[in-house]
A and B are shown apart, each in its own frame.
Chain A
């Protein structure tokens, strides 16, 4: 009791001494709490709970979609109603009642689509600002120039901000347009570029692909759309920031990226959600089409609310991501840092169809407390001289379960295909689990496939060395873990690398001792 009093006194004292609230909050966040657990109080508009053909029609209507799109969704719904939830992943969670979820929630202020970011509800803008994602272009520019170090040539990042079911706004659209790049919400794309959407939507992840992807096809409410025309190097990094805010709401977003011949784009994705006792569902689909000589980098920092120390609450993250290297010499690189979510079920995959195409997958998955992650990749080699590389680092702490599940498939025609896979697991504590489930299918002898996996614990000698240099145990573990993850962290774009490094430290706090 006495101890409790002292600690509250301390906080009081700190604030009284003129330390502002923000500092206290920062300190608290460093104490191992989920940093993005607050919610935005905003008036929302919901579709009725549950999913039925009427709800599918309603979502389609809200997005002003043409008939072909509505029919596409209804066909998906039809298919979904006959499908069974998959149970092969090494994750356990209570049965999800798919009729007890809101499939559509949007801020009231978004009823009339704002024409520019200036018209967006300031509360929404404030939300993203608080998340560290300023949406006003002036602010972004001012921010960078203010820093003084990289004046006019500062790195710009265009952002599409998705709040619950709708896209709030997209920055730098004009500048991108000048370069010929289309970057907008998928609902806008359906309206303004139906020919592109019609051609590519569902061509990488078919409507019938899997339970969650099919559900997403029926009810996706928004997401991002990118088209990079032939020969264009996208002048800035593109990013989408997903925020779940409303309670009992599922987020179903759809991302479609098309890199036409000889183009290049780097795309970042971030996600957070408020801290709640109930679980929330997030089922997204990402499709990437890569034509001849084009290259796409897709980086994710997934930091959905993971649930509390007792495993209460958190996001169920059931995501289908796939890239199709259609043309020769096409290249894709997935990088993911998975620190959030109560349950993760995610396998960003590469179909290496074009000759000499390349796929890479770099992943750090961290599971602490009662988190469960079942994640990995599929590398399907179809073309000649295709190359792939998988580096996966799984870290388990507390009572968490972390599984790498992957497939490397060399088809008979994939002559001289090459794959290198490395899966390493690190265990912190004796109550957690780390698992590896790779499938390797080699059907021609000119292909070379190598797979290596190791499981170990944080090395005592390394810890001792750090401690002897004056670090406390948590710092020391964070440093060792960062070293363990280095190969993947290096593959991240600069903006993300720093954040990811800190996340690795924060996600593991409280796991030592």
Chain B
């Protein structure tokens, strides 16, 4: 089907100033194919159903809008943890600031290095999971990333990693427009925890393709940057084999635009996939969680838990879908999206979908939105808690269910602390 002219023009305008990065034969081929996908799909436009609640304009236009770098005085999150720290500045790997790329049971390479080789295992995954995830719903910005991202990591997990890999995205320029693409392969029985934090760039696009073999596990915890003017679009494509586990949690505070897509495919029996998120924002904060879980095997479990606290006209979006394919019996699918609206101008726009083609399943979704419970607030105040702290306490209680999705208690506590600090700083 021919694309509408407007879309064609917008796509061409974006691609005009860009060149495919250099690389070996396999990656160049993958990038060419990704570019062809972008051209045939066209970049998202305002009237696309999948972008009903989030305007893609700022993510599509040729020039990234500037975003001033925020001065952050407190210790960055995850800083006190034992980890392998890998730093990217404005979307470019910084070897000086990073630890050695070595970790027991894990091989870590830069995408540029892996791409320069003639043969590499990443060929089986780079752009492949992204391409799989283009149906039934198109995600052109992910294909754009596969075509043009020149940096990122290629991680091969063959054993149980003794400590997490921590990706730190710093920024120096007000203008940087960055793309990172990570490929992660978790072998049978292997395990890794991956941490991400930082704002990365004024406009940031990241794609993570993760393939988890039988009995493997990948834990992913992310704290998106606090720079208020930053814009980000992120994609996670995960493929889960038998008895494998994937768990992802995202904390977002501030940001005029975050579109976090997760596309999870459970292809082996007894696999477990969880995605969760806690987001708090003020004013022109716009936060969109878009999740698509496909159950294509027996006895799998998936959970989606998203909580948003919205104030002073902030907007929260959730589009979640559970697709249970024919034959995917004994599926346990759960989805909850909730918003706490702390004033009359904030809005919560939700589309929680179920599409089910198997009969022996238990799938449910729930969505609620509303103000803080007056009775609970009154109770706290009658016990002498002033209104500000009382509201914070109830807000934290509301977010708790999402935080419980994090496996590691220390990380849960650190994130809870960050949320409490944010609420205190933004009180009143």
Select which of B342, B353, B358, B362 is within 8 A of A435 by beta carbon. B353
CB distance from A417 to the nearest CB of B (A): 10
Using Cβ atoms and an 8 Å threshold, which residues of chain A touch B371? 445-446, 448
In the assembled complex, the Cα of A429 lies from the Cα of B339 at a distance in Å of: 36
Choice from B349, B357, B369 contacting A433 with Cβ under 8 Å: B357
Asked if residues A453 and B354 are in contact (CB atoms below 8 Å), the reply is yes
Q: Which of B318-362 contact A (CB under 8 A)?
A: 326-327, 329, 339, 341-362
Take A436-B353, A439-B351, A444-B344 as given contacts and tell me if A455 and B364 are in contact as well, using a CB distance cutoff of 8 Å: yes
Interface centre among B348, B361, B362, B369 (most CB of A within 10 A): B369
Minimum CB distance partner of A426 in chain B: B359
Q: A430-B326, A441-B347, A445-B346 are in contact. Are A451 and B368 (CB under 8 A)?
A: yes
> Who on chain A is nearest to B352 by CB?
A438
> CA A244 – CA B249 in complex, angstroms?
56
Complex alpha-carbon distance, A448 and B354, angstroms: 23
Closest chain A residue, CB of each to CB of B327: A430
Q: Using Cβ atoms and an 8 Å threshold, which residues of chain A touch B347? A: 441-444
**Interface residue B363 (Cβ < 8 Å from any Cβ of A):** yes
- Closest chain-B Cβ to A367's Cβ sits at a distance in Å of 13
Q: Is the CB of B344 within 8 A of A435?
A: no
Q: Does B49 contact A (CB under 8 A)?
A: yes
| A439 and B371 alpha carbons, distance in the complex (Å) | 20
Whose C-beta in chain A lies nearest to the C-beta of B360? Answer: A457
Q: Check if B367 is an interface residue, CB within 8 A of chain A.
A: yes
B17 part of interface (Cβ distance < 8 Å) = no
Q: Which chain A residue shows the least CB distance to B323?
A: A435
A155 within 8 A of B: no
Residue B19, interface by CB 8 Å: no
CA–CA, A133 and B357, complex, Å: 39
Are B362 and A445 neighbours in the complex by a CB distance under 8 Å?
A: no
Does the CB pair A453–B359 fall under 8 Å?
A: no
User: Are B367 and A440 in contact, CB atoms less than 8 angstroms apart?
Assistant: yes
Say whether B365 faces chain A, with CB atoms less than 8 Å apart.
Answer: yes
The yes or no answer to A317 lying at the interface (CB within 8 A) is no
B4 within 8 A of A: no
- Tell me the complex Cα distance, A427–B371, Å: 36
A430 to B328, CA, bound (A): 10
Q: A431 touches which one: B326, B342, B365, B366 (CB < 8 A)? A: B326
Q: Is the interface of B mostly helix, strand, loop or mixed?
A: strand
Q: Are B360 and A454 in contact (CB under 8 A)?
A: no
Q: A446 to B369, alpha carbons, bound, how many Å?
A: 9
**Interface assignment of B370: CB less than 8 Å from any CB of chain A:** yes
Report the nearest B residue to A438, measured CB to CB: B352
Q: A444, A446, A454: which contacts B363 (Cβ < 8 A)?
A: A454
Q: How large is the interface on A (under 10, 10 to 19, 20 to 34, 35 or more residues)?
A: 35 or more
Q: Is A412 an interface residue (CB 8 A)?
A: yes
How long is the Cα–Cα vector from A430 to B359 in the complex, in angstroms?
5
Chain A min CB distance to B409 (Å): 31
Tell me which residues across on chain B come within 8 A of A437, comparing CB atoms. 351, 353
Q: Are B359 and A428 in contact (CB under 8 A)?
A: yes
- Is A485 an interface residue, CB under 8 A from the partner? no
A445 to B347, CA, bound (A): 8
Say whether A451 contacts B367, CB under 8 Å: yes
CB-based contact A454/B364 at 8 Å: yes
Cβ of A455 and Cβ of B370 under 8 Å apart? Answer: no
**B349 and A440 form a contact (CB under 8 A):** yes
Closest to B350 in A: A440
Q: Which of B49, B327, B358 has the most CB of A within 10 A?
A: B358
A449-B357 CB under 8 A given contacts A438-B351, A456-B362: no
In the bound complex, residues from chain B placing their C-beta under 8 Å from that of A446 are: 344, 371
Determine if B353 and A447 form an interchain contact, defined as CB atoms under 8 angstroms apart: no
Q: Within residues 415 to 437 of chain A, which ones have a CB less than 8 A from any CB in chain B?
A: 415, 425, 427-437
**B347 CB to nearest A CB, Å:** 4
Does A88 count as interface, using CB distance less than 8 angstroms?
yes
Q: Considering the chains assembled together, what is the distance between the CA atoms of A207 and B341 in angstroms? A: 37
Q: Are B361 and A455 in contact (CB-based, < 8 A)? A: yes
Smallest CB separation, A448 vs chain B (Å): 4
For B329, list chain A residues within 8 Å (CB). 430
Residues of A within 8 A of B343 (CB): 445
Bound complex: CA of A26 vs CA of B200, how far in Å?
73
A-B contact pairs, 16 of them (CB 8 A): A433-B357, A435-B353, A435-B354, A435-B356, A441-B350, A445-B343, A446-B371, A448-B368, A449-B367, A449-B369, A449-B370, A450-B366, A450-B367, A451-B350, A455-B361, A456-B361
User: Interface residues, chain A, CB within 8 Å of chain B?
Assistant: 88, 90, 412, 415, 425, 427-457
- Can you name 14 extra interface pairs (CB under 8 A) apart from A436-B365, A441-B350? A425-B354, A427-B358, A430-B329, A430-B360, A433-B355, A435-B355, A441-B347, A442-B339, A444-B345, A445-B370, A446-B344, A448-B371, A453-B364, A455-B364
Closest 10 CB pairs of A and B: A445-B341, A427-B359, A440-B350, A436-B354, A448-B370, A445-B371, A451-B367, A455-B363, A443-B347, A454-B364
